Chain A
């Protein structure tokens, strides 16, 4: 399996009015193709910042980062990833189909291909038939699914997801977690997933990166070997609770609860 993301001694210091803030310090991370990696940690541990560095939305101040063996900028220009934000961030003046078309329009793909691609991605997130609806006509969960379809539109190898279900209620969240797992199994994409929910991280991931704050660093990397078939009630199994316990212990040891 090849490395999709590789960081070595990655540092990022923000210069603020109150002096420098060490958002990331000495991050060594190796993500393989097809893995589902969760970044978990308290607020301020740099998990979102790390995701943004990979997406070329932030520039590191030290160390190296390679995405598909390229710099993040080259990877972005090659459309290596699709990014899903905390909010659906759909453009309110465009229909659902119109929203998914935005990245395709920027790529310069012809109308007919766009239409086929939109239909395909909407089917993938179970939103067929909602093409002509405006975002406000959809529930929060459906909007976030549409934004996942949009992230998949330009056929990236990798999905970067920044607490995508953080703003949704638990029932919707469970449902979307299940759907995301199915999607991951179907598409074989590499996923980087930021969360601060322990059950969510354990349920979804093959690998859990526990981070701790001040400075933002990796405390521990935990393998999550629950296998590919994960029904919702796996969360009551002994293996699941054991891994969740390890994550919690890791967070505690990393001073996440201070």
Chain B
């Protein structure tokens, strides 16, 4: 236990130390400016505490972000619009919806690609092209187009998550469904097994480890998709809205706490998918 705790704590301590150093470095010019305007001189020792207590710092200090997080999660009612947990919940719904849709779409595409040469040739280039378009460019279009046909709220954001998350699942599952070795495929042939029997008894179980690996990536980018989807909607609610509102009013502390919240959420979601993956692998006889 201690063997894994010590390296982790060391890294965290290093990050916080670098963060504080950067805070001083980035926020000091503002303090020097202030001093100059007031026609006073200020020593470096005097600057340091001031750089960590600014209202709108270039880079907020870790403890400022921590205080903001504490205030907006623990000290605020969850139902309040000031609660970061409430905003996280708003973002979580399209993240999960988009993740489920993206995973299903990815699996479906992979099954088609593996079983049909025509689909392999025709679909794969489009799948890859779809990911070369910056999501920031296409997200507003999706929102506008769907709004025109009367779809609002959760679904447009979920569609953006789907757009991002189907890709790793499709690519991973194509690889996974093709992973059975020749000997196993020959074996199924000697049994005169049908395509669907070969799929369910051989291809699908072989692909399960690939599925969970790609689902871990998919759920993280689903969250990114949902946040990006909140930016063009006028930023009413959700973590994306907090980011946007924060940047409107120069509330860097708010932006950073929303970022940290998104990171925590992504971490939890990936861990959750990983845990399900481990449980499934264990059931499938993987050596513990």
Closest to A95 in B: B285
Q: Which of A17-25, A31-39, A79-87, A122-130 contacts B (4 or more CB under 8 A)?
A: A79-87
Known pairs A89-B183, A91-B184, A93-B205; A76 contacts B190 (CB<8 A): yes
Query: Nearest chain A CB to B205's CB is how many angstroms away?
Result: 5
Query: Nearest chain B CB to A65's CB is how many angstroms away?
Result: 16
Known pairs A89-B183, A91-B202, A102-B201; A136 contacts B287 (CB<8 A): yes
A77 pairs with B202, CB closer than 8 A? no
- Which residue of the partner chain, among A85, A93, A106, contacts B186 with CB atoms under 8 Å? A85
Tell me what chain B mostly uses at the interface: helix, strand, loop, or mixed: helix
* Interface presence of B191 (CB below 8 A): yes
Q: Given the complex, which residues of B lie within 8 Å of A82, measured CB to CB?
A: 190
A93 pairs with B284, CB closer than 8 A? yes
Q: How far is the CA of A136 from the CA of B285 in the complex (A)?
A: 9
Q: How far is the CA of A106 from the CA of B192 in the complex (A)?
A: 8
A85 pairs with B183, CB closer than 8 A? yes
Query: Nearest chain B CB to A68's CB is how many angstroms away?
Result: 15
Considering the complex, which residues of chain B in the window 264-288 have a beta carbon less than 8 Å from any beta carbon of chain A?
284-287
B190 pairs with A55, CB closer than 8 A? yes
Q: Given the complex, which residues of B lie within 8 Å of A102, measured CB to CB?
A: 191, 201
B190 pairs with A89, CB closer than 8 A? no
Q: Given the complex, which residues of A lie within 8 Å of B187, measured CB to CB?
A: 83, 85, 89
Q: Given the complex, which residues of A lie within 8 Å of B188, measured CB to CB?
A: 106
Considering the complex, which residues of chain B in the window 144-203 have a beta carbon less than 8 Å from any beta carbon of chain A?
181, 183-184, 186-193, 197, 201-202
Query: Nearest chain A CB to B62's CB is how many angstroms away?
Result: 45
Considering the complex, which residues of chain B in the window 235-288 have a beta carbon less than 8 Å from any beta carbon of chain A?
284-287
* Interface presence of A109 (CB below 8 A): no
Q: How far is the CA of A230 from the CA of B47 in the complex (A)?
A: 95
* Interface presence of A227 (CB below 8 A): no
B205 pairs with A77, CB closer than 8 A? no
Contact bitstring A129-168, B, C-beta under 8 A = 1, else 0: 0000011100000000000000000100000000000000
Query: Nearest chain B CB to A189's CB is how many angstroms away?
Result: 16
Q: Given the complex, which residues of B lie within 8 Å of A87, measured CB to CB?
A: 183
B285 pairs with A94, CB closer than 8 A? yes
Q: Given the complex, which residues of B lie within 8 Å of A249, measured CB to CB?
A: none
User: How many residues in A have their beta carbons less than 8 Å from beta carbons of B?
Assistant: 27
Query: Nearest chain A CB to B214's CB is how many angstroms away?
Result: 18
Q: How far is the CA of A79 from the CA of B193 in the complex (A)?
A: 11
Closest to B194 in A: A106
Query: Nearest chain B CB to A74's CB is how many angstroms away?
Result: 10
* Interface presence of A231 (CB below 8 A): no
Count of A-B residue pairs with CB < 8 Å: 58
Q: Given the complex, which residues of A lie within 8 Å of B181, measured CB to CB?
A: 89
Q: How far is the CA of A95 from the CA of B283 in the complex (A)?
A: 11
* Interface presence of A57 (CB below 8 A): yes
Q: Given the complex, which residues of B lie within 8 Å of A223, measured CB to CB?
A: none
Q: Given the complex, which residues of B lie within 8 Å of A92, measured CB to CB?
A: 284-286
* Interface presence of A242 (CB below 8 A): no
Query: Nearest chain B CB to A57's CB is how many angstroms away?
Result: 6
Q: How far is the CA of A83 from the CA of B284 in the complex (A)?
A: 25
* Interface presence of A30 (CB below 8 A): no
Query: Nearest chain A CB to B7's CB is how many angstroms away?
Result: 31
Known pairs A92-B285, A93-B205, A93-B284; A77 contacts B183 (CB<8 A): no
* Interface presence of A26 (CB below 8 A): no
Closest to A151 in B: B190
Contact bitstring A28-72, B, C-beta under 8 A = 1, else 0: 000000000000000000000000000111000000000000000
Q: Given the complex, which residues of A lie within 8 Å of B193, measured CB to CB?
A: 106
Closest to B284 in A: A93
Query: Nearest chain A CB to B236's CB is how many angstroms away?
Result: 47
Closest to A98 in B: B285
Q: How far is the CA of A163 from the CA of B284 in the complex (A)?
A: 29
Q: Given the complex, which residues of A lie within 8 Å of B284, measured CB to CB?
A: 92-93
* Interface presence of A225 (CB below 8 A): no
Q: How far is the CA of A5 from the CA of B115 in the complex (A)?
A: 34
Closest to B209 in A: A93
Tell me which of B183, B191, B197, B202 has the highest count of chain A C-beta atoms within 10 A of its own C-beta: B191
Q: Given the complex, which residues of B lie within 8 Å of A107, measured CB to CB?
A: 191
* Interface presence of A8 (CB below 8 A): no
Contact bitstring B53-85, A, C-beta under 8 A = 1, else 0: 000000000000000000000000000000000
Q: Other CB < 8 Å A-B pairs besides A76-B189, A85-B186, 18 of them?
A: A57-B190, A79-B191, A81-B190, A82-B190, A83-B186, A83-B187, A85-B183, A89-B181, A89-B187, A92-B284, A92-B286, A93-B205, A93-B285, A102-B191, A134-B285, A136-B285, A136-B287, A154-B191
Residues of chain A having any CB pair with chain B under 8 Å: 55-57, 76-77, 79, 81-83, 85-87, 89, 91-95, 102-103, 105-107, 134-136, 154
CB-defined A-B contacts under 8 Å, sample of 10: A85-B183, A85-B186, A89-B187, A91-B205, A93-B285, A93-B286, A95-B285, A106-B188, A106-B192, A135-B285
